[in-house]
Amino acid sequence: MSNQRLTIFGSTGRMGQTIVRALAETPQMVLVGAVASAGSVSLGIDAGGEGGKTGVLVSADPSLALTEATVALDFSASTCLAAHVRACREAGVPIIVGATGYDAATRATIEHAAKDIAVLIAPNTSVGVTAMMQLVAFATKALGVGYEVDIAEIHHRLKRDMPSGTALALGEQVAAVRGQALENIALYDKKSRVGGRVPGTIGFNAMRAGDVIGEHTVLFTADGERLEITHRATDRMAFARGALRAALWLPGRPAGVYDMTQVLGL
């Protein structure tokens, strides 16, 4: 496998810094660009932060950061994502979208870019969560519509989007197997459940507390039994390793939209 040259958008955040550390385990990849917001106090300093020197300075210019890149990873704020995707399209650099909570307009920008470059959308880059998605699809098909579905998740107090991108992706997996659109059957507000549950709906429960990295559970419930499929993240390195695995896989792929299941060959 040839070496790849990586640019990280959101390089100063929790995931960005974890990916920088994980690069020490990935000799096939070298950091060549690091991007933070225009107001970041880290601009102009080494992207390694307190973790050590990388030789790459943090910049607010996406185009400059992509000059030498063969692939990009985005774990930035959702409001910055569209600009980063456009910059990758102009530079011809494939991108893994790890950012979540973006709006419909940004999704349209991603899909437009995917006509010219490879874009991998990964609301969760964990290999374990990718396997969980497949287990949820199997359970949904095997159990049928007679089972009620609920998705519960908890993250640290600073996480902005709610429900998480992973929780929504799990809901979309269930809805797709059932041949439905998630927006038509999702229940996000507990007040909407007063008076009894509507059959076929998917309930979401989200909590923000402490320093929890991330936990997701999908519950399939029927009279007399309950099946739970759970993933608990105890270290962000799990996400970073999966992200770098995707970053090694994506370069050279034809333009289009990809996901983590394809990275794992599932």
The CA distance from 121 to 250, in Å, is 11
DSSP secondary structure string, 61-109?
-HHHHTTT-SEEEE-S-HHHHHHHHHHHHHHT--EEE------HHHHHH
155 has catalytic annotation: yes
Catalytic residue among 155, 190, 191, 231: 155
What's the CA dihedral at 123, 125, 126, 131 to 10 degrees? 70
180 Cα distance to chain centroid: 23
Q: Torsions phi, psi of 200, nearest 5? A: 85, 0
Contact of 150 with 221, CB cutoff 8 Å: yes
DSSP 228: E
Catalytic residue among 159, 190, 191, 216: 159
User: How distant, in Å, are the alpha carbons of 114, 172, 189, 190 from that of 193?
Assistant: 38, 20, 8, 5
Backbone angles phi, psi at 73, to 5 degrees: -120, 130
Find out whether 167 and 155 touch, Cβ atoms under 8 Å: no
Structure tokens at 256: 């289009």
112 catalytic? Reply is no
Q: DSSP class of residue 253?
A: P
Residues known to be catalytic: 155, 159
